[in-house]
Structures are given as structure tokens and as C-alpha cells.
Amino acid sequence: MKPVLKIDWATHEAAKFAVENWHYSECMPPGKLVKVGVWEEGKFIGVVIFGSGANNNIGKPFNLSQIEACELVRVALKNHITPVSKIVAISIRFLKANSPGLRLIVSYADPDQGHHGGIYQAGNWVYCGRSRAQQEVVFNGKVMHKRTANNLFGTIKGMQKSKIFWKHKYLMPLDFEMRKQILPLSKPYPKRASSETVDTAGNLPEKGGSIPTDALQLSEVING
């Protein structure tokens, strides 16, 4: 029997708990965030978070305003059964239904974390190549975006600089015209660098619960 999923808005406290316990970054991204909570068989299993990301002009390359484009900034899930790509797809449909005018979602996969974008490939996102090379800061041995560090500590002065790095960039168009616009940017999907499957379910240890709200129950996925 397939597990029953519930999707609804998550509180900031629940999202923070999920990110700090079930995401490799262990920190909330900066900026205004939209936090979608995920429940499986009645248990809170994490969040999918959308925001403006590190780039305040995320929609500009596609002639979109800031309210027409966003970034998928965190997928923080504990042990679960449903494939991650399905959870992300349901979360996007939920977001789209509640965000009139939203036309494009951008996301990144970090090869330094062993990620090649398997969940995006399984979800039929458009791969448009590598992001622009950038350099961040290092705090307590962990690479942190300059904007995040500045929000947390008020300054990045004196912090060690990270190596120069890039990420895989993926696009999810939310309407036909946007898909038509970005398809010419499509490149072959990068291959995974490990033996992991392209769309694994989470396998993180149980670390307690955080149930922020009752949720809208979905029997499988919206529209199949």
C-alpha cells in the first residue's frame, strides 16, 4: 500500500528543526522563505523550502520579475518511503496553486556534496549547465554563503574564504510558454558520481518530532 502524504504550510520553528537536523547545511537560508511541510502516514518528515535564494535578480535572465521566479533552497527530509522527486513535485503543485503569477523555479545541486541533481532529473527539470563560479566563506569548517553569514553574524569580515566552486543548475517551468522559452537552454543531464540511485528516499536517523500544523491530506499526489 502506498503511503498517505499530507502537504501544508510549515511553521518557521518546524522548518528550522528539519533543516538543522535533516539537511547537510544545518542552517536556514537567508531571505523571505515559503516553507512547505510534509507528513507521511501522519508523521512530520520535513520541509521543502522556496525563496529568493542568494540572487536578488533570480528571474532577470528570463525576463521575469521577482514575484514570477523563485529558488528551491532546501529539501530537508528524515527517513521516509515516498521518493524525493514525488515529494518535491507535490510541493511545487501546492506552491503554484497558492502563488498566482509564479512561472519558474530554479534549483542547484552541489557536486562538492556528491550531488548531481538526481531528484531534478527524475522530476523532468531542465538542466542548463553549471552555475557561475563563486567564492563563499568558511565558518567552523563549513562553507556558508556570504549573505547567510552576514545575516547570522552581522559581518563576514575576517572570515576565511572558501575555494572557488560551481553547482549544477536546474530549471522547472510552470507554464507552457516558460517551458518553450527555456528548452533551448537544455543540456544533457550530468551523470551521478557514486552508486546512489538518481531518486532515493531519505534514510536519515530518527531525531524526534515537530508537528507544526494539521495538514491538507493528499491520498497520493495531486493530479496523479
Our CA dihedral for 114, 117, 122, 128, rounded to 10 degrees, sits at -150
Alpha carbon distance 192, 63 (integer Å): 32
pLDDT of res. 143: 64
pLDDT of res. 193: 60
Alpha carbon distance 203, 194 (integer Å): 16
pLDDT of res. 145: 63
Secondary structure class of 184 (helix, strand, coil): helix
Secondary structure class of 208 (helix, strand, coil): coil
Per-residue pLDDT of the chain (224 residues; tens, 9 = 90+): 788 999 999 999 999 999 999 998 898 988 889 999 999 999 999 999 999 876 678 899 999 998 999 999 999 999 999 999 999 999 999 999 999 999 999 999 888 777 788 999 999 999 999 877 665 666 666 666 666 666 667 776 767 665 555 589 999 999 999 999 999 999 999 987 653 434 434 433 333 333 333 333 332 333 33
Domain boundaries, the chain: 5-130+167-218, 132-165
Strand-pair partners of 104: 69, 173
pLDDT of res. 110: 84
Q: Using the 8-state DSSP alphabet, how is residue 191 labeled?
A: P
CATH assignment, 5-130+167-218: 3.40.630
pLDDT of res. 111: 83
Retrieve residue 39's grid coordinates: 507528513
Total-model pTM: 0.75
Nearest residue to 165 (alpha-carbon basis) of 118, 108, 121, 117: 108
pLDDT of res. 202: 41
**In terms of C-beta distances under 8 Å and separation of at least 24 residues, what long-range contacts does 96-99 make, across chains too?**
96/174, 99/34
